[in-house]
Chains A and B, each alone.
Chain A
Amino acid sequence: MHKDIQIKRYLPEEHAEPFWQTFHVPYDDTTSILDALNYIKEELDPTVSFRWSCRMAICGSCGYMVNGIPKLGCKDFVRNYPSALHIEPLAHFTVERDLMVAMDEFLQHLEAVKPYLIAEQPEPTEPHKPHRQTPAQLAKYKQFANCINCGLCYAACPQFGLNPEFVGPGAIALAHRYNLDSRDHGKVERMPVLNTHNGVWSCTFVGFCSDVCPKGVDPAAAVNQGKVESAKSMLIQMFRGGA
């Protein structure tokens, strides 16, 4: 079987504008979108640029818009598209070349919410003991810990499209993940970022982020649970006279 696959090309040194190019690609039931792209690069046109690495939805590198929907190339199959198949770079990001986008905006937001365990301050003086956690404490955040930073939720989020300053679904889901972790003491540092207009409050609960998440993280739930947390945090600040 063969399939005509259209790819949105952007070669800034040669063409000022992006353009569509069609490739005739053989496929069977096991051909992923990423396999098709690799076939194009190896057999048809070595100048086509795209990111990929693990081929098993772990690394989060191969995010593209497939027929307008954000997808991981390795987790989506050519057989799912019986008619037309268009592949574009992820929406809402700056395109560097062909299907490659600059992830800087997302990474800045990710850095701002400190997505790592923060120790108690000042650190306890007694010798370090293992941080024990019960299964119930793990269950609180486990779902949100599956994020692979692929950026599909940012390509799906119309609010991020309108306002790139919005911290966005992925970073908020990870902030929420660490806030819910019983070993963490960094909530007080993360909340000022989430409390701003560009934090949780820019979300209008469209929910498409959760639809497209390839790992079932449900960032929309994290953002909206984050609104309750943010409202509580602001109320506490108001009464206590400081964050």
Chain B
Amino acid sequence: MKRWRGLHLEPVWWGLFSAGGVCFAVFIPAVALVFTVLAPLGVVELNDQQLQAWYGSWWGLMFTGAVICLPAFHAAHRIRHGLHDLKVGGGFWSVLICYGLAAIVSVFALWIWFNA
């Protein structure tokens, strides 16, 4: 069919990679700063109950997407192309393993949020 001729999934992986790249650059350093430096030093106070309530809301879903799911696909894309550069793997299996792992991590993270 003319509609599908020459189409492939690369733009989808690249879109997820780009979105994940922004998250990696913007949100992950902020999360690392808050949870591994500022909170242990007592600069910001994190209250467990408040945190749990917050995580259970839509903010928690956004956190899951921006800090776990999209960066996972970003990393998967990098690893896939890194393997290609090293002439390891390639083709269908690289796609399946790299993005499959990212998908499993994402589904698991979303499942935890859903049950929170």
Q: Which residues of A contact B (CB under 8 A)?
A: 158, 162, 192, 195-197, 201, 204, 227, 230-231, 234-235, 237-238, 240-243
* 7 residue pairs, one from A and one from B, having the closest CB atoms: A231-B11, A241-B3, A201-B10, A242-B2, A204-B81, A234-B7, A234-B11
Q: Residue B111 at the A interface, CB < 8 A?
A: no
Q: How many residues of B contact A (CB 8 A)?
A: 15
Contact B8 A204 (CB under 8 A): no
Contact of A162 among B2, B14, B87 (CB under 8 A): B87
B58 within 8 A of A: no
Interface residues in B1-18 (C-beta closer than 8 Å to A): 2-8, 10-11, 14-15
Q: A231-B15, A243-B6 are in contact. List 7 more A-B contacts (CB 8 A).
A: A192-B6, A197-B10, A204-B81, A234-B7, A237-B6, A241-B2, A242-B3
Q: Are B3 and A204 in contact (CB under 8 A)?
A: no
**A residues in contact with B87, CB < 8 Å:** 162
- In the bound complex, residues from chain A placing their C-beta under 8 Å from that of B10 are 197, 201
A178 to B114, CA, bound (A): 49
Interface of chain B: mostly helix, strand, loop or mixed: helix
Q: Are A230 and B11 in contact (CB under 8 A)?
A: yes
Chain A residue numbers with a CB within 8 Å of B81 are: 204
Closest residue of chain A to B81, judged by CB? A204
Q: When the two chains form their complex, are residues A197 and B8 in contact, meaning their CB atoms are under 8 A apart?
A: yes
| Partner pick for B85 among A158, A192, A234, A237, CB 8 A cutoff | A158
Whole-angstrom distance between the alpha carbons of A241 and B7 in the complex?
12
Q: Are B11 and A237 in contact (CB under 8 A)?
A: no
Name the one of A162, A192, A235 contacting B84, with C-beta atoms under 8 angstroms: A162
| Cβ contacts B1-37/A at 8 Å (1 or 0 each) | 0111111101100110000000000000000000000
Query: Quick check: B11 and A227 within 8 Å, CB to CB?
Result: yes
Complex: A235 Cα to B84 Cα, angstroms: 26
Q: How far is the CB of A202 from chain B (nearest CB, A)?
A: 9
Contact indicator B3/A238 (Cβ below 8 Å):
yes
Cα of A60 to Cα of B84 in the assembled complex, Å: 31
Query: CA of A197 to CA of B4 in the docked complex: distance in angstroms?
Result: 15
Please measure, in the bound complex, the distance between the C-alpha atom of A234 and the C-alpha atom of B7, giving whole angstroms. Answer: 7
Contacts of A234 in B (CB 8 A): 6-7, 11
CA distance A231 to B10 in the complex (A): 9
Q: Considering the chains assembled together, what is the distance between the CA atoms of A231 and B16 in angstroms?
A: 12
Q: Can you list 28 pairs linking A and B with CB atoms under 8 Å apart?
A: A158-B85, A162-B85, A162-B87, A192-B6, A195-B7, A196-B6, A197-B10, A201-B8, A201-B10, A201-B14, A204-B81, A204-B84, A204-B85, A227-B11, A227-B14, A231-B14, A231-B15, A234-B7, A234-B11, A235-B11, A237-B3, A237-B6, A238-B7, A240-B3, A241-B3, A242-B2, A243-B5, A243-B6
